[in-house]
């Protein structure tokens, strides 16, 4: 009898426990992808837009260090991180590794934004809470930014290619070659251009997009990026057409354009390319060739300020500090008029319309306290002049290494230590290897 | 909902009381004596296993009412138990117990509510007594006190920083990126051991992708809060075969901590005071510079000449400094006071203690303070109901300094590595520190101005209720309920004033974290013992369990802090992060134990578990266990001649390890710009069907003791398979994700544990007790479904861990001239320890613990940093084949071979040694005993390892232990002890 009571008791307890409410706490810390795909509201979509804009800055300083070190624009001396001056410069036997931070992080950060753009486009497409015109605005923005992010990764891996189709993480598209990637990026920009026609921009962008935050402005940004892609693809006529509908302005402000902005606000980021002058330990030193190659009187020497004392690491010495970004809230350009003028000059040179090209080059030269161009009016001489201007005008904005590679001129880069190498492309990150 | 079962059970048990039967009873009295004739206090007297009995008082006397012709068992820890037959005409008994040298009668926990004697145990369960734990040369914290003491364990101090921080792995690596730390149960309460980062990554940038926190922030273990002086003993269930019944959290083993309880008799008052000091175990030394060496620090010839001149000027001014010594050479003073009261009567006993320790560090302005109060009460409401309460309040504070890896040159070790001895870092007459021209920080300034404090207030409260529901000649049924709560608040406060050199751009940083953690658990069980006959007894237990946890961490990082202020709102910029986690695990269990002739014991049990962390939170998973032991001497197969005890045993069990919180979601992180809130997809892809990893363990062995137990041997072989282990798969990052938790493969650990206990000398004058344990473990990844990549360190160039099918789980691989090769393994070849206690005339005791870890490798980047900075002590020695300075040679290896950085971290340590003298006959009668002692902790280490200590882990307690990047140097302690008993 007692046993029966006992077992009944145990049974009751068991049942009480089994039928007890099962606990699934959900995600207590952040929204989930599912919540965005289930009929997103305008404010949810706007959060994705801001997240996208914000995310573009992730690993951006590292990207600039990568291309600027390989292009011998400067050195990042770091007491704790020797690989900036070993691997990136090919010291001794060091090579670029496919598992090291200098490729894995910027690569992943760009694709993270691409993923966010894809999510934004998918969420906008599914949302029933916004108008069709607003939908086009979100999608056009997502596509434009996606194309730009893909281009930056292509700049790193060059002939090793990139993936374009990354919508489904379980079934990623294959790697496409450099030329095919440029074509695909151009196609994405073109489809965004279509989106912007008649679009209603229902979202807010940061001050970095000031003047470009409506449909017309975003279209101009889109075409400016398209012009860069066209020049990279050597589609000179296309480049000129795209420039004409971009914000290209031969006589306009050179700094006019779109940029990444920084602030100390909560959840925001600071510009980490900025390091105060005359530091030790963490230093971005300008490559000595910047000073030796610059023309007398060129005011762009101000981008490299003389240090009180030189700084050395691993057999390299810097005498000047990088002074392009002069505070931790200084913006970093995405694309600006000075580059557009030089893209215009390049396309004109390649189209053998030299006088137009010289006008553009002189616009840059006079702006920087240099006399008008007086060199030979030949394609080679003008291209050399254009590359000089690009080197100094777009210093530490991520161009020189890419430009020299486009013209097969990487061999011109100085070798600082015997055994150093000039790399032409980053390997694909180890996670992408088949 | 949660409270219903307890309520229900109480109701049920109340309903039972009238049914309890009392047979015709007689009162007996008696006295229990030790072999030397003195009374044994606290010995238990009971009629049969599980039934409530009584305990002896101060003089060893007892009184108990028993049925006529009952068989009464008398047992006491450290003595062999005895049974006597009660006869109606003898009311008084004198029982002399024999000493249990081989600890055969020690009672060991085998279920959630059941125990078994060691002689019948099917598993090896390691037990650490309070003397072993805290009576040789006490460590600063409980985690430190475990080091080198558990056979089958890999225990490694992560850092020398005040407040502890230790990795504990029982029987090999049981998970890759899942939790690898065991479950700690303190008096029935599942206590939390989460390591919470103070957000130092916001300053150090050690891991520059992970935001304000990283696994390199060197947090302490929360287990460090518990005062070791309160602990009676610790039992360690090393794997699933023993621990399965603990369910979801037991896959890495269970450490069961039992605190001291009161005994009936006069109130005992004990006071102890320790005083001592702490010094660095070893300093690496600095490079002896000369003008030419100083000049070679720069490749620029002009700068080189200037450096040479700077050296000569410093030399002639007598200003060559040993900055390593100035930073790490401080002597910290320690004091530790403990007051305890214990006593009670036959119905109620209590133990109360109050303790405080205050210890300085080897870096100025670092140290550890811990104050704790404990109150344990046991009360018998009547012959059938017993309750117990354990209450513990802890306040601790650790100032841990800024050490370890960083990417900005702020950490002390990194700054020292780049600072040559001839530069001037001392403050000027106004107290202003000069900037360090060789590094991003002035370590003297950093020590003087920065603070990194962790402060904890913690309350752990355990409850215990045991009620006899039914009693008959053959059957006894009890309800046993235990559980409790563990609540703590942890405040982390790291201050970096703006005048610090490395704060030039942040202009002052204040990082304040606030963590609240609330855990609850209960185990409600019914236990029935049924004695079918003299030869057969059955113990059935079944019940329910539940564990919940609620963790909430808010971290504020303020930069551009107003001079002299620390509040996060007194700042130009503020960013905040919050992380919450909650879990609820529910389980049901049943266990059956069959004992035949008290010689063959068979146990089988099963536990069903579900967890809110699983992909499917509602699904129950089953975890069985079984064990069989056969005591050959007891069963009469072997005569009681040569062998005192001979037992063969085997056990099997399964347990699981739940997925990391949040691994099933793809979430979006906050990423704002210009005041607009932004959502950016997280780099971790969620896996909606994530499952627990399942561990299956089989162990078998034998125990032999001979010479009346004076020599005994325990030998065990185990095999532990972890199926579907959890690992972060590295996804092609073009997917937008870099990682995803997956059930990635299978892993196996095999190992051997041998233990010898002996009393080689036992005379009136001298007794020598010794134990020697030998253990080893080998792991093998038997299946891996995802691509194998280097992880857990800095890549192939400097040496890295890599999970690969067919390879050891803890292998260290790296570059070699012929490609990627294995350079080492974090797993030691074997470990060996030996406890010794030599006592003269019961008065003078010499105790020591030796620990030998043979082999095993670390990734040593501390010496590499010194080479980078050109400051290694042996930089200019020439022992390499190229004939260049060794420092240069080592730097040349970067990029071609990682061999230089993967170094053997084997060691032999005299971990603890203590000498104690006890006065028991004192002129002052009020004082019962007076004890003096001196002890040394971590004073002797024999190792070839080239850094502060081979015991180190910059990456915390996870899978990748043994990475050495400029840690807080390991310390040694010398302490004087005085204790009084009234």
pLDDT in tens, B171-181: 888 777 667 78
With a cut of 50, say whether residue B284 has pLDDT above it: yes
Q: Which residues contact B776 (CB under 8 A, 6 or more apart)?
A: B751, B752, B828, B829, B830, B831
Provide, rounded to the nearest whole percent, the portion of chain B with pLDDT above 70.
93
Which helix (H) or strand (E) segment holds residue A359: the answer is helix A354-367
Using CB atoms, pick whichever of A3, A31, A97 lies closest to residue B797. Answer: A97
Best B676, B688, B870 member to test A by mutation, with max A CBs in 10 Å, is B676
Residue of A nearest to B556 (CA): A266
Distance of CA B303 to the CA centre of its chain: 51
CB B796 within 8 A of CB B820: yes
Query: Confidence band (pLDDT; 50, 70, 90) for B19?
Result: very low
Select from A195, A264, A182 the least CA-distant residue to A225.
A182
A-B CB pairs within 8 A amount to 317
**Alpha-carbon gap, residue B298 to B289, rounded angstroms:** 14
Note if the pTM is more than 0.95.
no
Contacts of B2 in chain A (CB under 8 A): 20
> Which of B409, B736, B797 is facing A115, going by the closest CB pair?
B736
- Angle among Cα A396, A400, A402 to the nearest 5 degrees reads 120
State the CB neighbour count (10 A cutoff) for residue A216: 11
Dist CA B164 CA B157 (whole Å): 7
DSSP string of B273-342, one letter each residue: EEEEEEEES---------HHHHHTT-SSHHHHHHHHHHHHHHHHTT----HHHHHH-PPEEEEEEEEEEE
What does the alpha-carbon distance between residue B212 and residue B216 come to, in Å, rounded to a whole number? 11
The average pLDDT across B96-107 equals 73
Mean pLDDT score, B53-77: 79
Average pLDDT over residues A3-30: 61
Residue of chain A whose Cα is closest to the Cα of B1: A20
Q: Tell me the per-residue pLDDT of B944-970, one tens digit each, with 9 for 90 and over.
A: 998 999 998 887 666 677 889 899 999
Q: What is the mean pLDDT of residues B724-731?
A: 85
Greater confidence, A203 or B572?
A203
In B193-252, the residues whose Cβ lies within 8 Å of chain A are: 208-209
What ipTM was reported for this prediction?
0.91
Long-range own/partner contacts, residues B300-309 (CB < 8 A, 24 or more apart) = B300/A310, B300/A312, B300/A317, B302/A310, B303/A309, B303/A310, B303/A312, B303/A317
Give the pLDDT band (50/70/90) at residue B551: very high
Pick from B298, B414, B895: which is nearest to A79 by CB?
A: B414
Asked if pLDDT for residue B4 goes beyond 50, the answer is: no
Asked if pLDDT for residue B828 goes beyond 50, the answer is yes
Q: Where are the alpha helices (DSSP H) in B71-180?
A: 130-134, 142-145
- Closest residue in B to A317 (Cα) is B300
Q: Of B582, B384, B587, B380, whose CA–CA distance to B483 is shortest?
A: B587
How much of chain A, in percent, has pLDDT values that exceed 70?
94
pLDDT at A8: 55
Chain B contact probe: residue of A46, A331, A431 with most B CBs at under 10 A:
A431
Alpha-carbon distance of A104 to A109, in angstroms, equals 9
Residue in chain A lying closest to B559 (CA)? A264
Contact check, Cβ <8 Å, B19/A2: yes
* Token reading at B471: 């009693």
Q: pLDDT tens, B630-652?
A: 888 876 666 557 788 888 999 99
Who among B208, B440, B618 is closest to A22 (CB)? B618
pLDDT for the residue B807: 93
**Per-residue pLDDT band at B486 (split at 50, 70, 90):** very high
A13 contacts B896? CB cut-off 8 A: no
pLDDT of res. B373: 96
Contact residues, B window 17-46, toward A, CB-based 8 Å cutoff: 19
Residue B433 DSSP class? P
Strand partners for B294: none
pLDDT digits (tens, 9 = 90+) for B212-239: 667 777 778 888 899 999 999 898 888 8
Residue B235 burial (CB < 10 Å; 0-12/13-18/19+)?
A: buried
Q: What's the pLDDT score for residue B958? A: 65
In this complex, the residue of A59, A93, A118 whose CB is nearest that of residue B895 is A93
Per-residue model confidence (pLDDT) at position A12: 53
pLDDT of amino acid A60: 97
pLDDT 10s digits, B893-927: 887 888 889 999 999 999 999 999 998 777 777 88
**At a CB cut-off of 8 Å and minimum separation 6, what does B605 contact?**
B111, B244, B245, B589, B590, B591, B592, B624, B625, B626
Search chain A and give the residue with CA nearest B413.
A80
The residue with greater pLDDT, B242 or B210, is B242
Confidence band (pLDDT; 50, 70, 90) for A30?
confident
List pLDDT tens digits, range A143-194.
999 999 999 999 999 999 999 999 999 899 999 999 999 999 999 999 999 9
The residue of chain A nearest to residue B894, with distances taken between CA atoms, is A94
pLDDT reported for residue B210: 54
Does position A273 have pLDDT exceeding 90, yes or no? yes
More reliable by pLDDT, A200 or B38: A200
pLDDT at residue A9 in the model: 58
d(CA B355, CA B371): 6
Say yes or no to pLDDT of B70 above 70.
Answer: yes
Across the interface, whether the CB atoms of A265 and B435 are under 8 A apart is answered: no
Question: Stretch B856-880: mean pLDDT, rounded?
Answer: 91
Tokens 């930089």 locate to B875
What is the C-alpha R_g of chain A?
Answer: 26
Q: Do B8 and A107 touch (CB under 8 A)?
A: no
User: pLDDT tens-digit profile of B731-762?
Assistant: 899 999 988 888 889 999 999 999 999 989 88
pLDDT band at B407 (very low <50, low <70, confident <90, very high): confident
pLDDT(A303) > 60: yes
Kindly report, residue by residue over A69-110, the tens digit of the pLDDT: 999 999 999 877 888 999 999 988 788 988 889 999 999 999
Instruction: Note whether A315 contacts B299, CB cutoff 8 Å.
Output: yes
pLDDT at A128 over 70: yes
Q: How high is the pLDDT of residue B912?
A: 94
Mean pLDDT of chain B: 86
Q: Please give the pLDDT value at position A27.
A: 79
CB atoms B477 and A2 under 8 Å: yes
pLDDT at B160: 86
CB nearest B572 (choices: A22, A264, A309): A264
A50-59, B34-43, B475-484 — most confident range: A50-59
**B586 contacts on A by Cβ (under 8 Å):** 17, 20
pLDDT of A20: 56
The top-scoring range by mean pLDDT among A371-375, B225-229, B857-861, B887-891 is: A371-375
């Amino acid at each position: 009898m007692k046993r029966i009571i006992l077992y009944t008791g145990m049974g009751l307890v068991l049942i009480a426990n089994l039928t007890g409410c099962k606990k699934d706490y959900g995600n207590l810390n952040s929204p989930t992808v599912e919540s965005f795909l289930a009929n997103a509201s305008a404010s949810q979509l706007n959060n994705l837009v801001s997240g996208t804009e914000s995310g573009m800055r992730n690993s951006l300083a590292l990207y600039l260090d990568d291309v600027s070190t390989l292009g011998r624009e400067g050195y990042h001396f770091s007491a704790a991180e020797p690989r900036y001056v070993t691997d990136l410069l090919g010291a001794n036997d060091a090579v670029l590794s496919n598992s090291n931070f200098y490729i894995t992080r910027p690569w992943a950060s760009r694709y993270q934004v691409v993923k966010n753009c894809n999510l934004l486009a998918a969420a906008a497409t599914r949302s029933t809470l916004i108008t069709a015109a607003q939908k086009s605005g979100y999608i056009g923005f997502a596509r434009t930014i996606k194309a730009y992010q893909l281009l930056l990764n292509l700049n790193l891996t060059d002939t090793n290619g990139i993936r374009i189709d990354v919508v489904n993480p379980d079934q990623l598209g294959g790697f496409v070659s450099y030329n095919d990637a440029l074509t695909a990026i151009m196609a994405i920009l073109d489809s965004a251009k279509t989106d912007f026609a008649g679009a209603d921009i229902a979202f807010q962008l940061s001050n970095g997009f000031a003047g470009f935050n409506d449909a017309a402005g975003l279209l101009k940004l889109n075409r400016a990026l398209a012009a860069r892609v066209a020049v990279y693809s050597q589609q000179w006529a296309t480049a000129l057409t795209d420039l004409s509908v971009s914000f290209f302005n031969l006589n306009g402000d050179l700094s006019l354009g779109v940029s990444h902005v920084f602030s100390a606000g909560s959840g925001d980021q600071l510009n980490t390319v900025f390091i105060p002058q005359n530091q030790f330990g963490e230093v971005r030193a300008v490559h000595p060739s910047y000073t030796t190659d610059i023309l007398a009187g060129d005011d762009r020497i101000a981008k490299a300020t003389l240090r009180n004392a030189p700084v050395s690491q691993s057999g390299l010495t810097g005498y000047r500090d990088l002074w392009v970004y002069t505070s931790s809230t200084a913006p970093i350009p995405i694309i600006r008029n000075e580059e557009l003028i030089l893209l215009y000059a390049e396309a004109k040179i390649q189209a053998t319309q030299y006088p137009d090209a010289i006008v553009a080059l002189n616009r840059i030269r006079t702006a920087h306290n240099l006399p008008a161009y007086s060199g030979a009016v030949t394609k080679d001489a003008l291209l050399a002049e254009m590359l000089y201007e690009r080197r100094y005008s777009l210093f530490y904005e991520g161009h020189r290494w890419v430009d020299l590679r486009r013209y097969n001129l990487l061999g011109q880069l100085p070798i600082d230590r015997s055994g150093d190498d000039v790399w032409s492309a980053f390997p694909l990150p180890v996670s992408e290897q088949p | 909902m949660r409270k219903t079962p307890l309520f229900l059970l109480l109701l049920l048990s109340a309903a039972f009381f009238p049914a309890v039967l009392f047979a015709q009873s007689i009162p007996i009295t008696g006295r229990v004596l030790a072999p030397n004739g003195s009374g044994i206090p606290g010995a238990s007297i009971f009629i049969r296993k599980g039934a409530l009995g009584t305990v002896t008082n101060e003089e060893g006397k007892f009184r108990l009412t028993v049925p006529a012709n009952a068989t009464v068992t008398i047992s006491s820890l450290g003595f062999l138990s005895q049974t006597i037959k009660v006869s109606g005409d003898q009311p008084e008994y004198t029982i002399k117990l024999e000493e249990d040298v081989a600890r055969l009668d020690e009672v060991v926990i085998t279920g959630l509510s059941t125990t078994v004697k060691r002689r019948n145990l099917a598993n090896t369960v390691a037990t650490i007594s309070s003397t072993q734990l805290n009576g040789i040369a006490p460590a600063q914290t409980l985690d430190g006190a475990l080091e080198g003491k558990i056979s089958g364990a890999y225990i490694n101090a992560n850092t020398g920083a005040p407040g502890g921080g230790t990795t504990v792995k029982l029987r090999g690596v049981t998970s890759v990126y899942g939790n690898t730390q065991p479950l700690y149960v303190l008096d029935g309460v599942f206590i939390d051991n989460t390591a919470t980062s103070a957000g130092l990554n916001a300053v150090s940038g050690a891991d520059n992708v992970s935001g304000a926190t990283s696994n390199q922030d060197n947090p302490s273990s929360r287990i460090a809060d518990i005062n070791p002086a309160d602990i009676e003993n610790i039992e360690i269930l090393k794997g699933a075969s023993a621990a399965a019944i603990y369910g979801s959290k037991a896959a890495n083993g269970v450490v069961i901590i039992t605190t001291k309880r009161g005994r009936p008799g006069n109130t005992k008052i004990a006071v102890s005071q320790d005083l001592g000091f702490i010094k660095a175990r070893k300093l690496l030394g600095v490079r002896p510079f000369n003008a030419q060496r100083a000049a070679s620090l720069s490749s620029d010839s002009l700068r080189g000449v200037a450096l040479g001149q700077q050296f000569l000027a410093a030399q002639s001014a007598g200003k060559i400094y040993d900055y390593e010594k100035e930073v790490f050479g401080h002597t910290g003073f320690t004091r530790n006071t403990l007051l305890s009261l214990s006593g009670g009567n036959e119905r109620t006993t209590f133990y109360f203690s109050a303790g405080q320790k205050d210890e300085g560090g080897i870096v100025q302005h670092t140290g550890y303070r811990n104050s704790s109060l404990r109150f344990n009460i046991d009360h018998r409401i009547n012959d059938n109901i017993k309750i117990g309460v354990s209450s513990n309040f802890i306040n601790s504070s650790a100032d841990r300094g800024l050490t370890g890896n960083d990417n900005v040159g702020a950490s002390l070790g990194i700054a020292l590595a780049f600072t040559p001895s001839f530069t001037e870092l001392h403050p000027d007459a106004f107290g202003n520190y000069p900037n360090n021209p060789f590094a991003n920080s002035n370590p003297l300034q950093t020590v003087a101005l920065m603070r990194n404090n962790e402060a904890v207030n913690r309350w752990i409260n355990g409850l215990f209720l045991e009620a006899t529901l039914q009693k008959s000649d053959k059957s006894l049924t009890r309800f046993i309920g235990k559980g409790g709560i563990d609540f703590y608040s942890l405040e982390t406060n790291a201050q970096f004033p703006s005048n610090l050199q490395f704060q030039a751009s942040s202009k002052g940083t204040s990082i304040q974290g606030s963590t609240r953690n609330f855990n609850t658990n209960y185990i409600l069980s019914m236990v029935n013992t049924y004695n079918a006959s003299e030869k057969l007894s059955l113990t059935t237990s079944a019940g329910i369990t539940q564990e919940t946890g609620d963790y909430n961490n808010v971290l504020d990082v303020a930069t551009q802090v107003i001079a002299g202020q620390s509040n996060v709102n007194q700042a130009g910029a503020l960013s905040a992060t919050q992380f919450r986690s909650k879990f609820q695990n529910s389980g049901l269990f049943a266990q059956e134990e069959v004992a035949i002739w008290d010689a063959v014991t068979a146990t089988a049990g099963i536990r069903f578990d579900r967890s809110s962390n699983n992909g499917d939170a509602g699904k129950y998973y089953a975890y069985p266990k079984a064990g069989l032991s056969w005591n050959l001497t007891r069963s009469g197969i072997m005569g009681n001649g040569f062998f005192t005890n001979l037992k063969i045993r085997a056990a099997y069990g399964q347990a699981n390890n739940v997925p990391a919180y949040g691994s099933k979601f793809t979430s979006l992180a906050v990423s704002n710009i210009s005041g607009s809130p932004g959502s950016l997809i997280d780099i971790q892809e969620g896996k909606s069907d994530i499952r627990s990893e399942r561990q299956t363990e089989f162990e078998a062995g034998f125990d032999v003791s001979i010479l009346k137990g004076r020599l005994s041997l325990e030998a065990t072989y185990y095999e532990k398979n972890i199926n579907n282990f959890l690992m972060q798969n590295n996804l092609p990052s073009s997917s937008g994700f870099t990682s995803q938790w997956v059930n990635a493969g299978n892993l196996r650990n095999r190992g051997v544990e041998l233990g010898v206990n002996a009393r080689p000398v036992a005379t009136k004058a001298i007794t020598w007790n010794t134990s020697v344990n030998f253990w080893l473990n080998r792991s093998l990844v038997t299946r891996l479904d995802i691509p194998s990549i280097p992880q857990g360190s800095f890549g192939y160039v400097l040496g890295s861990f890599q999970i690969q099918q067919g390879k050891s789980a803890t292998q260290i691989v790296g570059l070699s001239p012929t490609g990627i090769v294995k350079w080492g393994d974090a797993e030691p070849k074997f470990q060996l320890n030996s406890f010794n206690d030599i006592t003269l005339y019961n008065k003078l005791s010499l105790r020591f613990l030796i620990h030998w870890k043979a082999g095993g490798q670390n990734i040593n980047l501390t010496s590499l940093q010194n080479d980078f900075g050109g400051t290694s002590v042996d930089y200019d020695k020439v022992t390499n084949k190229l004939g260049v300075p060794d420092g240069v040679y080592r730097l040349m290896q970067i990029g071609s071979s990682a061999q230089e950085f993967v170094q053997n971290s084997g060691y032999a340590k005299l971990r603890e040694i203590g000498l104690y003298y006890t006065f028991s006959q004192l002129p002052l009668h009020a004082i019962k005993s007076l004890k003096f002692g001196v002890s040394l902790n971590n004073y002797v280490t024999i190792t070839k390892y080239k850094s502060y200590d081979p015991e180190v882990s910059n990456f915390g307690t996870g899978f990748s232990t043994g990475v050495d990047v400029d840690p807080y140097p390991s310390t040694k302690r010398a302490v004087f002890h005085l204790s009084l008993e009234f």
